[in-house]
Amino acid sequence: MRDQDTIDTIPDLVRWSAERYADTEAVVEGRTRITYAELGARVERAAAACLASGVQVGDRVAVWAPNSLDWITAALGAVTAGAVLVPLNTRFKGAEAADVLRRSGARLLFVTGTFLGTSYVASLRRAAGEGEGVPGSPDAGVPLPALPDLREVVVLSEDAPPDFRTWKDFLAGGEGVSAAEVEGRRGELGGSAVSDIVYTSGTTGRPKGAVITHGQTLRAYGIWADLAGLRTGDRYLIVNPFFHTFGYKAGVIACLTRGATMIPQPVFNVETALANIASERVSVLPGPPTLHQSLLDHPSRDAYDLSALRLVVTGAAVVPLTLVERLRAELGVDTVLTAYGLSEASGIVTMCRRGDAPSVIASTSGRAIPGTEIRLVDAKGTPVGPGEPGEILVRGFNVMRGYYDDAAATAGTISPDGWLRTGDVGVLDEAGNLRITDRIKDMFIVGGFNAYPAEIEQSLALHPDVREVAVIGVPDPRLGEVAKAFVARRPGSTLTSDDLIAWSRREMANYKVPRTVEFVPELPRNASGKVVKGVLRGRGSGQAERG
């Protein structure tokens, strides 16, 4: 068996874990329980089906589905076939998903059937247009005319529209592909090959795809697993969505490196999480602070046996010291860690270490991970000292190769000498611990989801009664932060706050929807015409106008 240090691709990691942890439980999903050997066989079968469908090395393959065993199998199967994985946010509406599919040039899409009461297939049809296509036949046209690169859509269920394929039929299509052919494709890959493109919205509101390689992924999440203390025998409840690096890489990939058991949960529900932790003896539960706070505060918490829980990794927001203390005192969690990362840096930049004081864990995001440098600079690009705020720059193995098909954005984000501009403002202490203090990009975090004001503003501006709009994040006791919109109506408009919020719920992912709307005659601007959001933040807690 190969030494883990010699593994430089995700397909090699899958095979290695299938051999090393063959009889260890790999995934638990309801009544389905499979070992690492069985997971390896499922991934090989999915890879064979991808080869049969014509997937070539470097083709983009998207997955638009909630956390599940099928997501793991489809994604790892596609990557084993040499494809570049493009995870799609499950909160996307059809138009948002179609935009990423179009700009990534995705060839194949794995999509869920109905999730949270929404038919993803129907929403994609509405956004991308109807069409006649014969699944699996590259000469028959495309399933969705507005997405000419998309040759095939596979529905991860037993039912699918006539021009799409079911997951079962797709897998059956690979039965004629030999193991030697799959092995040959695996052999074409190396650590420098691109493993995935994670689309993350920027201040322009246009999602950009961070390009990450196999080698970067394996190195980063080997480090994550080491620092967190993840180990064989751990049982990991993965509530963080797989479309995000926190779910896919700190979840699936990290578990593969250590032989931990994955328990995917498609939607966070407190009762379901408590039941899973108790019944499956869950020992590892990463997630945003709101997740852990809701567990601690649930009135029926004591009815569940949570004694197996030993490791919590959190971040993405300010972590109250009381949360760290309560996790340790009330639930007996041995290790509570915080971290900071972004998609453009493989999802991880800093992390606390086991043994750090609770005050360090609560007030900082830890120190730079091995192989990574952090520098804080002022507005002129001059480095600042400990205790002084500055923009966070990152350099190291984890920095993305660039934004997919966007050289201009890449050049504006990564300097010639390799420093990534994060757009976040922080302070370093004397020990090198990083504290995030502000966000140049105005991003705010809604229950663990990154929300970008410019993107929300562009969507709201499409409403016929909206003349101009500005969005900020405001505190929310449950979600941490939520969007508040300041709107100037067009003359004669009788648009109400309720009207605009209802419209927003139809047009954008729920976490982006403003919870309150304040109508203003005009937005405050400086001499250059730029909206002064500091003024809006000063009145951000005001009441919404209901007229």
For the chain, the domains span 4-208, 268-439, 444-538
User: Class of the 444-538 domain?
Assistant: alpha beta
Residue 134 identity: V
Each residue's pLDDT, cut to its tens digit, for the chain (547 residues) gives 677 778 999 999 999 999 999 999 999 999 999 999 999 999 999 999 999 999 999 999 999 999 999 999 999 999 999 999 999 999 888 888 999 999 999 999 999 988 877 788 888 888 876 433 333 333 345 568 789 899 999 999 888 887 789 999 999 999 999 999 999 999 999 999 999 999 985 434 578 999 999 999 999 999 999 999 999 999 999 999 999 999 999 999 999 999 999 999 999 899 999 999 999 999 999 998 888 989 999 999 999 999 999 999 997 556 778 889 999 999 999 999 999 999 999 999 999 999 999 989 988 999 999 999 999 999 899 999 999 989 999 999 999 999 999 999 999 999 999 999 998 888 999 999 999 876 676 778 899 887 878 778 878 988 999 988 999 999 998 899 999 999 999 889 999 999 999 999 999 999 999 999 999 998 887 544 567 787 888 775 544 443 3
pLDDT at position 133: 38
C-alpha distances (whole Å) from 15 to each of 2, 4, 259, 332 are: 10, 11, 12, 36
C-alpha distances (whole Å) from 529 to each of 202, 353, 415, 465, 523 are: 21, 45, 28, 22, 10
Phi, psi angles (nearest 5°) of residue 325: -65, -40
Q: Alpha-carbon distance 59 to 24, whole Å?
A: 32
Q: Are 237 and 255 in contact (CB under 8 A)?
A: no
User: Domain 268-439, CATH 3.40.50.12780 — does that match?
Assistant: yes
Q: Are 241 and 235 in contact (CB under 8 A)?
A: no
Nearest Cα residue to 482 out of 517, 506, 431, 507: 517
Phi, psi angles (nearest 5°) of residue 410: -60, -45
Cα separation of the two ends of the chain: 69
**Other CB atoms closer than 10 Å to residue 166's CB: what's the count?**
18
3-state secondary structure of 339: strand
User: Domain 4-208, CATH 3.40.50.980 — does that match?
Assistant: yes
Query: How many Cα atoms occupy the beta-carbon half-sphere of 229 within 13 Å?
Result: 15
Residue 53 identity: S
Residue 114's DSSP bridge partners are: 119
Structure tokens belonging to residue 306: 């949570």
3-state secondary structure of 336: strand
Name the burial class of residue 318, with classes exposed (0-12), middle (13-18) and buried (19+) by CB atoms within 10 angstroms of its CB.
middle
pLDDT at position 159: 82
The radius of gyration computed from the CA coordinates of the chain, to the nearest angstrom, equals 23
Q: Which helix (H) or strand (E) holds 402?
A: strand 402-403
Q: Which residues contact 68 (CB under 8 A, 6 or more apart)?
A: 29, 112, 156, 264, 266
Q: Alpha-carbon distance 297 to 284, whole Å?
A: 19
Q: Are 212 and 346 in contact (CB under 8 A)?
A: yes
Nearest Cα residue to 393 out of 360, 362, 428: 428
Nearest Cα residue to 451 out of 504, 409, 514, 401: 514
Q: Alpha-carbon distance 448 to 456, whole Å?
A: 17
Length of the chain: 547
pLDDT at position 546: 31
Phi, psi angles (nearest 5°) of residue 314: -135, 180
CA 436 to chain centre: 20
Nearest Cα residue to 324 out of 294, 291, 279, 292: 292
Q: Are 367 and 433 in contact (CB under 8 A)?
A: yes
3-state secondary structure of 197: strand
Nearest Cα residue to 454 out of 466, 471, 437: 471
Query: How many Cα atoms occupy the beta-carbon half-sphere of 368 within 13 Å?
Result: 21
Q: Give the pTM.
A: 0.84
Q: Alpha-carbon distance 8 to 217, whole Å?
A: 9
Nearest Cα residue to 14 out of 199, 158, 218, 213: 218
Q: Alpha-carbon distance 363 to 359, whole Å?
A: 6
Strands (DSSP E) found in 356-398:
367-368, 372-377, 390-396
Report the DSSP pairing between strands 32-35 and 372-377: unpaired
pLDDT at position 5: 74
Render 4-52 in DSSP notation, one character per residue.
GGG--SHHHHHHHHHHHTTTSEEEEETTEEEEHHHHHHHHHHHHHHHHH
